[in-house]
């Protein structure tokens, strides 16, 4: 695979953004607030080949944004987090394949953070590499734009059951054509451990 200047620029930008965000989050004392371990099922459609089924394994590193927002006199009582999400997924349909990547999310709670039941919304984007070749995407390196809703139920003070639904649009941002994208829906569940 020939690495064009455009692709190289995107890869370098991805690495720089990752380190900048991690550096900002580490700058605040105790900013790593919790870790989510999630798995589930994702499904979508690809032209010609049909169903697109994925089985993701996800780790969310949740950084508390409130120490940063206090500096601008914004102190929400609900959850407000920046998430770094490395993931990998086995693909079973239309044929056995694999995808992996990292996404960055802004996650906001709806109820006070002290609630046992904590619904939330999240939105983010990231980078994805898939081994599957499709007519929708001319490149295997893509960008993932995702929105979701979910909830934590804390059955112990520091441990919660997490359930989440997501919509994801995968495309290569015009690096190459065709670039019509692949839309997928995910249902994931797992355990959240709070520090």
Topology adopted by domain 5-194: Porin (2.40.160)
Give the pLDDT score at 14: 60
pTM of the model: 0.81
The string of DSSP letters for 110-177 reads EEETT-SEEEEEEEEEEEEEES---SSBS-SEEEEEEEEEEEEEEEETTEEEEEEEEEEEEE-TTSSS
Give the pLDDT score at 1: 43
**Model pLDDT for residues 5-45, shown as the tens digit of each residue:** 555 555 555 665 555 555 555 544 568 999 999 999 999 98
Percent of the chain at pLDDT exceeding 70: 84
Q: Give the whole-angstrom CA distance, residue 54 versus residue 109.
A: 27
**Model pLDDT for residues 165-179, shown as the tens digit of each residue:** 999 998 887 777 777
CB neighbourhood size of 140 (10 A): 16
Q: Give the whole-angstrom CA distance, residue 8 versus residue 85.
A: 22
The string of DSSP letters for 30-47 reads T-EEEEEEEEEEEEEEET
**Model pLDDT for residues 55-84, shown as the tens digit of each residue:** 999 999 999 998 888 888 888 889 999 999
Give the pLDDT score at 173: 77
* Greater pLDDT, 114 or 48: 114
């Amino acid at each position: 695979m020939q690495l064009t200047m455009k692709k190289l620029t995107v890869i370098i930008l991805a690495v720089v953004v990752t380190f900048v965000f991690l550096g900002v989050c580490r700058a605040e004392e105790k900013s790593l607030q919790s870790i989510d371990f999630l798995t589930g099922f994702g499904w979508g459609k690809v032209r010609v080949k049909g169903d697109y089924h994925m089985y993701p394994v996800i780790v969310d590193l949740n950084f508390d944004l409130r120490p940063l927002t206090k500096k601008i006199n914004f102190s929400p009582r609900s959850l407000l987090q920046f998430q770094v999400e490395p993931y990998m997924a086995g693909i079973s349909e239309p044929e056995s394949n694999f995808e992996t990547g990292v996404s960055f999310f802004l996650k906001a709670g709806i109820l006070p953070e002290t609630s046992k039941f904590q619904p939330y919304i999240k939105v983010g984007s990231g980078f994805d590499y898939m081994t599957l070749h499709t007519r929708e995407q001319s490149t295997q390196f893509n960008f993932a734009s995702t929105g979701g809703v979910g909830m934590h139920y804390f059955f112990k003070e520091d441990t919660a059951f997490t359930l989440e639904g997501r919509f994801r649009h995968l495309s290569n941002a015009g690096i190459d054509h065709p670039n019509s994208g692949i839309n997928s829906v995910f249902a994931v569940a797992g355990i959240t451990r709070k520090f």
